[in-house]
Structures are given as C-alpha cells and as structure tokens.
Amino acid sequence: KLLGIPTIAVLDLGVGCKFKNIDPSQFPDQFLVTNSLSKNELINLGAKPSNISIAGSTFLESLTKFRPKVKFSTLESYYNLNPYTSLIPFFCYPDTEKSINAIESIARTILDTEVDNPILIIRPHPRSTKKFLLEKICLQFEHLRYDEGEEFNNGNLLFYSKLSFSMVSTVSLESIV
C-alpha cells in the first residue's frame, strides 16, 4: 500500500480483530469476507462498507464440485473401517498440546452422540510440532486413526465425510487442502 500498489485482504469471521489497532486509513483497499458478520466486524473497526465484498467460502464451493480420485472402499481398507462407519476428519491446530486436549475431549464424547460408528481421522496441522504425540493419543482410542495425509488428500477425505472438525477456520483449512 505504501508503494501505491492496490491491496486486498481475504478474511474470515474473527480475523478483523487483527485490524483493531490499525488506523482505517492504513486498511487494505478492498476486503473479501466470507459472510455478513465478518463485514459488520470490519465496518465496526472503521472500514468503508463499499470496500467490503462478501465472497462466501470458496473452499466450500470448490468441495461441491470436487470428485474423488479414490473409491470409498480404498479408504475403508486403508483405515480398517466397516461399511457402516461414519468417517470424521479432525484437522488439528498448530499447537500440539491444544490439539491433544481437543482430541481427547471429542474421543470421549463422540461415542455418546447419535453419530453411527464414528471413526475420527486425526490430521496434524502442517506447522504442528511433536506429531508423534498426536499419533500416541490415537493409539489410546479404538475409534481414532492418525494420518498425516500422505496417502489421501484432504479433499478425498472430506468428500466421503458427513461431518468434520477443524480447529482452524475454513479459510485456513482451504490452505491445506
């Protein structure tokens, strides 16, 4: 912006707080946000409504057009699933300790829900450290599977899932798909 180059920021809900201590005159020239709540957040921080466009979630839109490169039977075999399994990807946070706490909580409670035969596929965040600790926690629960994503990309995993968990926003999730 200081060089006179037009700028744009793509934001999700809650990210506007990063602009909290910035003078609105220093804001990007244009904002693309996922929803009206994000737009209102930026307006409350001083952004001009005319500089904000609601773009929706391009990641979710791209998933509707996605066609898997593997069959579900391949996933069943790889993860040792039965045909009646509810496959649930869990995308971790960069902080391994926070991820472990969340995994333990969900692992203990998911069996008490109405989700049939849940199997959680634990995917570490690309910036996670000590990934071996995530793998170790998975060994403590029969319905958890650790997978760094080398065999199947996230799109294939999400295509066959009716439910997924992410400790990061879908904008961040989009960057790892």
Tell me: the pLDDT tens digits for 102-149?
A: 999 999 999 998 888 999 999 998 888 899 999 999 999 999 999 988
Please report the pLDDT score of residue 78 as a whole number: 93
> Tokens representing 88?
């649930």
Please report the pLDDT score of residue 14 as a whole number: 65
- The span from the CA of 86 to the CA of 115, in Å, is 7
Find where tokens 């793509």 sit: 10
DSSP state of 3: T
> How does residue 150 score in pLDDT terms, banded at 50, 70 and 90?
confident
Find where tokens 């957040």 sit: 41
Higher model confidence: residue 53 or residue 172? 53
- Judge whether 59 and 171 are in contact, CB under 8 Å: yes
The H or E element containing residue 132 is helix 131-138
Whole-prediction pTM:
0.67
What pairs with residue 87 in β-bridges?
119
- The span from the CA of 144 to the CA of 107, in Å, is 7
What pairs with residue 89 in β-bridges?
121
Among 26-35, 48-57, 92-101, top mean pLDDT goes to 92-101
Find where tokens 């799109």 sit: 155
> Tokens representing 63?
């998933």
